[in-house]
Structure 1
Amino acid sequence: MVQRALEGQVSVDGEVVGRLPSPGLVVLVGITHDDEPTVVHRMAEKLWGLRILDEERSASDVAAPLLVVSQFTLYANVRKGRRPSWSAAAPGPVSEPLVDTFVEALRGLGAHVETGRFGADMQVSLVNDGPVTLVLDSAELFAPR
């Protein structure tokens, strides 16, 4: 999930661990069992070039910063009962390196990237600009047509 933001930051235990230094994108990243490094690299390229900023510009066009926060709860399944199931989310030992790969892929493309802290109890705040919020799902984006 990506949100165009005027401001954004993530804190852990009262300490700010990542912050947008100027308006940019807050990116909540969930990893599922089918994700792999090639998919993560393609998602980074898609996000960096996505024209969702003012005047249909991309983050790459204006060097907009990104705040990337891992969030396994994006894969919650709430179809049955009242308690979400997290079975679609990849476990930490699988997802943490892929989130790191995503961040490094963005940096390799020239992005200024700040991050949260994987697995921590994080407080994320942002001022959504627009508001603009999009869901980017690798299964939908890269599925055969």
Structure 2
Amino acid sequence: MGVLPRTTPPVFLQELAAALGDAGVGRLKPGPRATHTATGPDGTQWQITYLARHSGQPVWGLMGPCGHEHGVAVDTAEAARIITAPAPEPEPAPADPHPRSPRTHLGFAVPEFVRADWASERAQWWRLGVATAVGKLPGNRSR
């Protein structure tokens, strides 16, 4: 297992700053040693870490809001493309298949098979079981 470098060579740092400037990122903020910060066009913060030199080219690790982890190795052009890419739209929440049934009952998550037939006898017995477990039997039951 290799050792990560402690500093970024100035040549690679200038190359990264030029690539980010051409992509419209603005200014690269140099960090203390091998990790630097850049702000994307949409205002997101990215940490760029110099990982190694491969075939004479720098390899960067990115950590940002789009799910890119620190260990993902990319070259300079790919780092600029990832930083300037628009943030992905969040997936819409799936529609509730049983909107008339509660999701919880007495603090417990209601299973889908019970939610599907909330008015059935099976669901009534499930509710009674939960009420018994938490000690909150309905008022018309003997104790």
TM-score, shorter chain, exceeding 0.5: no
Bigger RCO (CA 8 Å, 6+ sep): 1
More strand by share: 1
- Give TM-score scaled by structure 1 length: 0.22
